[in-house]
Amino acid sequence: MTKINPSIFLFSAWYPTEFEPLSGNFVHNHAKAIAKRTQITVIHPYEDLSCKQKLPLVLQEDIKDNLVEIRIRYKGIKMKNSIGKILRFIRTQRAYREGILFAIHKYGLPDITHVNILTRAALPALKLKWKYDIPFIITEHWSRYLPENNDFKGGLRKKFTRYAVRKAKAVTTVSEQLKQAMLSHCLYNPYYYVVPNAIDDVLFCPCPVEKQKKSILHISNLEDKIKNISGILRTIQRLSLLRSDFELTVIGNEQYLDFARRLADNLQILDKYVFFKEEIPNEQLPYYYNYSDFHLLFSNFETQGLVLIESFACGKPVVATRTGGIPDVVNENNGLLVAPNDEDGLLTAISYMLDNHQHYHSKLIRDYAVENFGESRVGELFLSIYRQIY
């Protein structure tokens, strides 16, 4: 008897762990959305760079309703050269193999596998296709294909990625711009779909928070090449010479936090106008969204921007750059757009938003987020794709 809904194994290059709680949180959100519709098992290898002695694979399983998360931790590779990349690939694939064997033994073979973030996560899906004829789909979030980034390089990587995309039953991207960028790299598949990022609209919701000053929020990994944190800090320094009724909270990845702190200190705004925090668990983020008056994103390129729609879910407007998929989600009712690298335009937009954020309709902003990016909506989109190939 055919099951009503297929069971899914999801393989992802990025996923939240104890070391990086916000890494791949958009994949976690997709998995939660899918779990509202069908059984899904996430299998995610990750490295422990803090381990100094030999470390056997450590497998941890977490179960919540239809969502099973199997994380396999292995000893990290600190070498950045070619040998380090080869060793990391070998350990990652070995961890995938152990995670898949455990999942099959406990839950049986999946009906479909779902690859998130190319390219190494596609290999276990291809192996299951070759061995058991299990179909797979691909979801891509990575900005490396965008012309502004242009980081899709390497002959072997391109050849294997194109093969994986051809063999997939469908490919989804989080924005039309990312889809077109992938096609421009000859990543052809007859069935492309745009499925946006998802939000936990129960966790991220409006909640009143008392504060002393007008507050701006920025959440990202803080990699300057992408997020242009240096442009934000220079603009905040200029703004501090014009007014003093605001503060900016920055939550980011420890890897780039020192650079941002040093720059803020050199600009004499550290712990005066700008306050930094290391990455925190997803469950704590709604407090900071609600504490803020608006979210600020000055990226050079983005595929969509999860932080923007999380801000919307809390009823907050945004200031963001007109790049990638951002113009598809930001409009006159929920925020302001500026050109990438336009620090004069950013200064004007921030100042305007500090004075006018209260005029944006919080309920309409939230309703827009839930209707377009809520877990129920996104889960149904994925289920409709699964059903077409199952």
> What pLDDT digit, counting tens, does each position of 183-211 carry?
999 999 999 999 999 999 999 999 988 88
**Residues 48-73: pLDDT tens digits?**
887 766 777 899 999 999 999 999 99
Tell me the pLDDT band of 296, cut-offs 50, 70 and 90: very high
Is 214-372 CATH 3.90.850.10?
A: no
pLDDT of 3 over the 70 cut:
no
Amino acid 355: pLDDT: 97
Q: Higher model confidence: residue 373 or residue 86?
A: 373
Q: How far apart, in Å, are the Cα atoms of 281 and each of 143, 171, 201?
A: 24, 29, 16
To the nearest whole number, what is the mean pLDDT of the chain?
94
| pLDDT tens for each residue of 214-268 | 999 999 999 999 999 999 999 999 999 999 999 999 999 888 999 999 999 999 9
Per-residue pLDDT, 1: 41
- Residue 338 pLDDT > 90, yes or no? yes
**Between helices 229-240 and 343-356, what is the axis angle to 10°?**
60
Q: Helix 155-167 to helix 122-132 angle, to the nearest 10 degrees?
A: 50
Task: Read off the pLDDT of each residue in 14-37 and give the average, rounded to a whole number.
Answer: 93
Mean pLDDT of 105-134: 96
Residue boundaries of the structural domains of the chain: 8-198+374-389, 214-372
pLDDT at residue 139 above 60? yes
pLDDT, position 64? 94
Tell me what pLDDT residue 388 has.
93
Assess whether the region 8-198+374-389 and the region 214-372 belong to the same CATH fold.
Answer: yes
Q: What is the mean pLDDT of residues 340-344?
A: 97
Q: What is the pLDDT of residues 140-179, one digit of tens each?
A: 999 999 998 889 999 999 999 999 999 999 999 999 999 9
- 207: its two tokens: 């909640």
Using a 10 angstrom Cβ sphere, with 0-12 exposed, 13-18 middle and 19 or more buried, the burial of residue 33 is buried
pLDDT at 2 over 70: no
Question: Which CATH homologous superfamily contains domain 8-198+374-389?
Answer: Glycogen Phosphorylase B; (3.40.50.2000)
For residue range 278-291, list pLDDT tens digits in order: 988 889 999 999 99
User: What mean pLDDT is predicted for residues 81-93?
Assistant: 86
∠78-84-88 over CA atoms, to 5°? 90
